[in-house]
């Protein structure tokens, strides 16, 4: 497979989605908004139209590849590449007019799940971060600086609170981290947060309870920027954690963060892949 071609297609598909989502942003007051799992899990016509725009581009160029998207599930055939799409990651931010939302498109090996190419666009900020396996992550066309933060006390850590059953650990998690790091942030979009780690706008991310579409592209961005990504068991080079619990950081910070977080979540079967 030509990884440059896959990256080019991921970029084109993500831009198509970003244009659709941005168009809807100007008419957001007309959107019908629904709750999926609860009041913090929203979906709108903008999400669905954005995913269709992404899928349309992918279908024109690689009609036999399967596609996994947040809104339409799995579709497609038996091609060698599986596309993983989050049309608007951070829908609540998007609907409230906040900037932390992103369009995320990743290409992975359909058999083993190895990440091949990934693009995250943050339309409100005019930022496109992209990577393909074997090459340094680029931000708006410029290679990023390799992740080198080694001082935990100077680390800005992005957070996600996790699935409903994991949210009861939010307080203990903050208490475990806050005395040891520079500060904590919760932007509300895992895809955007991973792009921020890859580009040095945050130093690490702890995001339990993710789905593949939330993190597939962003995981590759961090890995190809020299970072480590895994769950609380171990780093997983080249792919995303099947548990959905994502710790992303420069290599020097990954183990210290894991050591702080593991006691908080030690009773969670999801964090061991069980």
Burial 156-184 (b: 16+ CB within 10 A, else e): bbbbbbbbeebeebbeebeebbeeebeee
Percent of the chain with pLDDT over 90: 81
Go through the chain and tell me how many residues it has: 274
Separation of alpha carbons 138 and 136, rounded Å: 6
The pLDDT score that the predictor gives to residue 86 is 97
pLDDT of residue 271: 47
pLDDT at site 272: 40
Intervals of the chain under pLDDT 50:
269-274
Alpha carbon separation from 174 to 21, 129, 164 (Å, rounded): 33, 28, 17
Pairing of strands 115-122, 127-132: antiparallel
pLDDT at 230: 98
Classify residue 22 as exposed, middle or buried by CB count within 10 Å of its CB (0-12, 13-18, 19+). Answer: middle
pLDDT for the residue numbered 260: 98
Q: Find the DSSP H helices in 156-207.
A: 170-177, 190-198
Q: Is 142 helix (H, G, I), strand (E, B) or coil?
A: strand
CB 215 within 8 A of CB 240: yes
Q: Can you give the pLDDT at residue 39?
A: 58
């Amino acid at each position: 497979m030509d990884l440059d071609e896959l990256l080019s297609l991921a970029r084109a598909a993500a831009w198509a989605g970003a244009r659709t989502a941005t168009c809807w942003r100007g008419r957001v007051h007309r959107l019908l908004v629904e709750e999926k799992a609860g009041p913090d899990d929203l979906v709108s016509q903008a999400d669905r139209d954005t995913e269709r725009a992404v899928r349309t581009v992918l279908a024109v160029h690689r009609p036999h590849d399967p596609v996994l998207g947040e809104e339409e599930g799995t579709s497609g055939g038996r091609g060698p590449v599986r596309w993983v799409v989050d049309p608007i990651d951070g829908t609540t931010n998007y609907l409230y007019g906040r900037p932390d939302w992103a369009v995320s498109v990743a290409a992975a090996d359909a058999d083993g799940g190895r990440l091949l190419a990934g693009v995250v666009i943050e339309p409100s900020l005019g930022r496109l971060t992209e990577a393909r396996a074997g090459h340094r992550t680029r931000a708006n066309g410029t290679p990023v600086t390799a992740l080198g933060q080694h001082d935990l006390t100077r680390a800005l850590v992005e957070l996600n609170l996790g699935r409903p059953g994991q949210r009861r650990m939010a307080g203990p998690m903050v208490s475990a981290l806050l005395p040891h790091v520079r500060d904590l942030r919760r932007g509300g979009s895992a895809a955007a947060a991973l792009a921020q780690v890859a580009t040095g706008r945050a130093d690490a991310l702890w995001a339990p309870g993710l789905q593949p579409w939330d993190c597939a592209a962003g995981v590759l961005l961090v890995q190809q920027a020299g970072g480590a990504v895994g769950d609380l068991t171990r780093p997983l080079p080249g792919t995303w954690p099947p548990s959905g619990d994502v710790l992303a950081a420069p290599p020097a910070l990954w183990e210290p963060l894991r050591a702080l977080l593991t006691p908080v979540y030690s009773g969670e079967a999801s964090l061991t892949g069980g």
